[in-house]
Amino acid sequence: DVKVTQSSRYLVKRTGEKVFLECVQDMDHENMFWYRQDPGLGLRLIYFSYDVKMKEKGDIPEGYSVSREKKERFSLILESASTNQTSMYLCASRGHGSGNTIYFGEGSWLTVV
């Protein structure tokens, strides 16, 4: 089975802190994604990466950056956390041979106070 692991399930951070959310997948997938999930808004794409060191902005990239130094790891960075970034963050991955299926991690609940 494909496994997408997010390092932290629950985090509480202060406004202005730099926050790192880590995601690792074990299936040698080329594509990795970060979404945020908010009630009534569904999932919105923040950034995605289609290869090592490659990244593209999604629909809501403002206030976020990403890093993909190794194929298996995709990090989401909040340079200066704000309260409106309190949300559930979901990492996902997809490989060329996976029949278009995207696999999700269990999510990271971030609260910014």
3-class secondary-structure state, position 102: coil
3-class secondary-structure state, position 109: strand
Q: Give the x-and-dash track for 45-74 against other proteins (CB under 8 A).
A: x--x-x-------x----------------
Considering only 81, 90, 110, 112, the residue that binds other proteins (CB under 8 A) is 90
Q: Which is nearer to other proteins, 17 or 86 (CB)?
A: 86
- Nearest-angstrom CA–CA distance, 78 and 81: 6
Report the nearest approach of other proteins to the CB of residue 15 (Å). Answer: 26
Question: CB of 77 within 8 A of CB of 18?
Answer: yes
Query: In which residue are the tokens 């269990």 written?
Result: 106
Question: CB of 112 within 8 A of CB of 50?
Answer: no
Query: Is residue 106 part of the contact set for other proteins (CB under 8 A)?
Result: yes
Interface with other proteins (CB under 8 A): 4, 31, 33, 35, 40-45, 48, 50, 58, 90, 92, 94, 99-107
